């Protein structure tokens, strides 16, 4: 049996995963909330536990080894909360750490790259597809590989957009600087005559209006959040772990509390958050503190 297909086993925290456990979701920051919003809409009966590693955002400029380590640390914290499935709502972690997580974790692991690739191929008429993402995601070639595994004749052109995640984290969705950055990043893709653009980072759907304005109405902009949620629903249903007679709740935990987090979650995405928990894991806290000391 493949690691991602196991269920009802003792997890890395020494606790038993259960069909009654939450859907565990993680990202480096605010962006993964776009996936949470899709999950809450599609799976209203499921409890969702969202963990944002906001103290170490962004992941996109870090090495594969660091991204894998961060992803394993955060996933183990979700397992400690009895998560029955892990949703990697971070394109960078999906691109560079998904295979590692599937090998190590005793529960199903769903990433956003595969979902985005499927949606892009379905949406593209000419099979000329653009991808924007973090440096690490683009350098990995994960989206191109996933798209061309589905459609070998697809032409895929990618562009790293390192400024977009910080702009989203600052809540600058319609700022002049954001529009200028998008224009600079997207012009080379437009010259390649793409007909579909994949938002290869879960932060980017928060810039959807600005991105659609920049590329024009002819180009289909693909947000993999809903497709990721559909993949989660399929796994839970087929494995008998789906909740039916239950009113799902959302819990949120962060490694740091950035300004604007609640505003984005509640006003922009319509999520209802009762409280935000701050992580007190010794292992993650130590690594976060080292990161802060290095930056200072």
Give DSSP secondary structure letters for 30-69: STTHHHHHHHHHH-TTS-EEEEE-TTS---TTS-HHHHHH
In DSSP terms, which residues pair with 88 in a beta bridge?
A: 26, 111
Question: Cβ distance 27 to 56 under 8 Å?
Answer: no
The verdict on whether 90 is a catalytic residue reads: yes
Assigned token pair, 102: 């599937």
Taking the C-alpha atoms of residue 215 and residue 121, their distance in angstroms, rounded to an integer, is: 18
Q: Mean pLDDT for the chain?
A: 89
pLDDT in tens, 174-215: 999 999 999 999 999 999 999 999 999 999 999 999 999 999
Give pLDDT, residue 6. Answer: 33
Catalytic residue, chosen from 90, 100, 161, 228, is 90
- Pairing type for strands 196-199 and 109-111 reads unpaired
**100, 151, 161, 201: the active-site residue:** 201
Average pLDDT over residues 241-267: 90
The answer to whether 228 is a known catalytic residue is no
Same fold, 3-111+226-295 and 114-224: yes
Q: Where does 3-111+226-295 sit in CATH, by number?
A: 3.40.50.1860
Average pLDDT over residues 42-69: 95
Q: Are 237 and 35 in contact (CB under 8 A)?
A: no
**Domain range 114-224, CATH architecture:** 3-Layer(aba) Sandwich (3.40)
pLDDT at 11 over 90: no
* Position 14 pLDDT exceeds 50: no
Which run of H or E residues covers position 159? Answer: strand 155-160
Nearest to 117 by CA among 84, 158, 63: 158
Give residue 280's pLDDT.
63
Confidence of residue 28 (pLDDT cuts 50, 70, 90): very high
Domain boundaries of the chain, sorted by first residue: 3-111+226-295, 114-224
């Amino acid at each position: 049996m493949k690691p991602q297909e196991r269920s009802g086993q003792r997890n890395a925290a020494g606790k038993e995963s259960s069909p009654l456990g939450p859907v565990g979701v993680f990202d480096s920051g605010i962006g993964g909330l776009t996936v949470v919003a899709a999950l809450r809409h599609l799976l209203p009966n499921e409890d969702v536990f969202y963990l944002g590693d906001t103290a170490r955002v962004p992941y996109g400029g870090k090495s594969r080894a660091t991204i894998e380590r961060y992803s394993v640390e955060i996933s183990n914290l979700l397992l400690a909360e009895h998560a029955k499935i892990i949703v990697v709502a971070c394109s960078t972690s999906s691109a560079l750490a998904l295979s590692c997580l599937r090998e190590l974790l005793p529960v199903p692991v769903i990433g956003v790259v595969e979902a985005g690739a499927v949606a892009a191929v379905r949406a593209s008429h000419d099979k000329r597809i653009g991808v924007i993402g973090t440096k690490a995601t683009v350098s990995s070639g994960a989206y191109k590989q996933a798209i061309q595994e589905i459609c070998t004749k697809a032409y895929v052109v990618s562009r790293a957009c390192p400024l977009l995640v910080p702009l989203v984290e600052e809540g600058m969705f319609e700022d002049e600087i954001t529009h200028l950055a998008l224009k600079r990043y997207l012009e080379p893709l437009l010259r390649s005559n793409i007909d579909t653009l994949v938002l290869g980072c879960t932060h980017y759907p928060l810039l959807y209006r600005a991105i659609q304005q920049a590329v024009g109405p002819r180009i289909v902009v693909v947000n993999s959040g809903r497709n990721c949620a559909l993949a989660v629903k399929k796994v839970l249903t087929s494995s008998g772990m789906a909740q039916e007679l239950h009113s799902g709740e959302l819990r949120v935990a962060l490694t740091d509390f950035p300004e604007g987090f609640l505003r984005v979650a509640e006003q922009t995405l319509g999520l209802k958050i009762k409280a935000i928990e701050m992580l007190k894991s010794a292992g993650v806290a130590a690594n976060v503190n080292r990161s802060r000391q290095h930056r200072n």
